[in-house]
Amino acid sequence: MLPLVCHRYRPRQPRASPVWQILHDHAAKVPGLSPAAAATIAAFLDCGDLHAGFTRLHCPDCDHEFLCPFSCKQRGICASCHQRRTLIEGAFIADEICAPVPHRHLVLTIPRLIRHTFKFNRALLGELYHAAHSAITTWLRQRTGQPAGQPGLVVAVQTFGDFLFWHPHVHVLAAAGVFAPNGDFHLAPAGGWQDLAELWRHTVLRRLGDAGTLADWQIAKLQNWRHSGFSVDAGEAPLAAADAAGRRRLAEYLLRAPFSLEKITYNADAGSVLYRSDRHWRTKRNFEVFSASQFIAALLDQVPPKGVPQVRYYGWYSNKSRGLRQRTASTAAGKTHAAAGPLGGS
């Protein structure tokens, strides 16, 4: 009987993917592809292809062998590699980053008027991370009455909406309170979402103004709108402190791919792509039809630049804070060991 790992291995069929077929048939016809985009597409087309290289694996117990093709590790464009990264990092966030305290899923949006500002200057997406951290930190400290409290935030900026429309917005997996310097957790009372939305609006506009992206008159206009387009969705209730599975599910949602293969139908003869999803509030349709070139352009808009992290950690969950706590714990453990003396000593 074959070991479990050998018995369950099933190589995928990358060329059966409609995205692979679209890019294979039409990517070379798309004008003005950047060298980075062309390299991303080339790597994706070779992903999972035995002709492009593989590792030969051998089980010493049963002598069974199989070939494992190389993967491209591309985010946003390769459903397989993106999903593997999502599962691995989602588990890390839920099990290693998040403390066993109540958490909320916050979604922060910006008005349509300024969304394309981020499309033409991707570096500005970093301002959304910092604005979310600043607004939520200020808001939680006010709600808990802990001016020195640290939030625990896992922040991701997604640039896609339904049908691959350009729609930059922020998802946050947030501890539902703040951590005091001694590690005590202070739960924030429910409500206050309108206050957070106003903080979010003013923080984003201030940062874009400081970056020279918006003029003073544009900021004044956006600040005076009655319906500003800046919103906060906090869901109905926080996740319970013991709900590790819920935190993992939300972490995976923060990291999800911009498209679903099940929603895509490719018509090779017509060179068109049908994308089905929920009914869109603006178009009043539950589908969108793209030419192959339009679909490729929309897809490439969602591919993050190489080396730019999709998720960032702030406050109690930041790399610095976690490192300091680990160092303190190691120092304390070392002192305890030294005080106990050598094993067996008199």
Dump strand ranges (E) for the chain.
Answer: 54-58, 65-69, 103-109, 152-160, 166-175, 177-179, 185-187, 231-233, 264-267, 272-276, 287-291, 311-315
Q: In what order do the strands lie in the sheet with 152-160?
A: 231-233, 103-109, 166-175, 152-160, 311-315
C-alpha to C-alpha distance for 105 and 136, rounded to whole angstroms: 12
C-alpha to C-alpha distance for 22 and 25, rounded to whole angstroms: 5
Whether pLDDT at 332 is above 50: yes
What is the mean predicted confidence (pLDDT) over 133-144?
98
Instruction: Report the chain's mean pLDDT, rounded to a whole number.
Output: 91
What is the mean predicted confidence (pLDDT) over 295-309?
93
What is the mean predicted confidence (pLDDT) over 276-286?
86
Domain boundaries, the chain: 4-69, 79-259+311-317
**Residue 123 CA neighbour count, 13 Å, CB half:** 3
**pTM metric for this prediction:** 0.90
Confidence at 182, pLDDT banded by 50, 70, 90: very high
* Residue owning tokens 């916050």: 106
Whether pLDDT at 4 is above 60: no
pLDDT tens digit sequence for 56-84: 988 888 888 888 899 999 999 999 999 99
pLDDT tens digit sequence for 225-236: 888 899 999 988
pLDDT score for 1? 37
pLDDT score for 280? 81
Whether pLDDT at 152 is above 50: yes
